[in-house]
């Protein structure tokens, strides 16, 4: 269960906010922060795969994989950033 919390908070949140900052922001500093957060999340996910290669954080019935978390976080962050950009115009 601790791995699931690690994946959600430490990997998923920076990936989602990084994607949001890259798509929504117009300022270079915020885009740089978004890129750094994406790099940070991918580096943590790489370390996670090194120590737990199968990527499963829960039992066999309730599998929770790191690629799913990163993919969903990136999709949600990217789509909300695009939505905010469309609403701003």
CA-derived radius of gyration, the chain: 14
Distance CA 13, CA 15 (A): 5
Of 87, 85, 89, 86, whose CA–CA distance to 24 is shortest? 85
What the block records as the tokens of 24 is 């929504």
First to last CA, the chain: 43
Q: How far apart are CA 25 and CA 32, in angstroms?
A: 10
Over the stretch 30-82, which tens digit does the pLDDT of each residue have? 999 999 998 888 888 777 777 766 655 555 555 556 777 788 888 888 999 88
pTM of this prediction exceeds 0.85: no
d(CA 64, CA 25) in angstroms, rounded, equals 31
Name the residue ranges covered by the structural domains of the chain.
Answer: 2-88
């Amino acid at each position: 269960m601790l791995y699931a919390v690690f994946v959600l908070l430490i990997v998923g949140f920076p990936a989602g906010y990084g994607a949001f900052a890259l798509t929504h922001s117009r300022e270079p500093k915020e885009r740089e922060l978004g890129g750094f957060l994406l790099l940070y999340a991918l580096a943590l996910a790489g370390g996670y795969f090194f120590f737990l290669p199968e990527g499963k954080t829960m039992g066999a019935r309730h599998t929770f994989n790191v690629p799913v978390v990163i993919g969903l976080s990136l999709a949600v962050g990217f789509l909300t950033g695009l939505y905010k950009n469309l609403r701003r115009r």
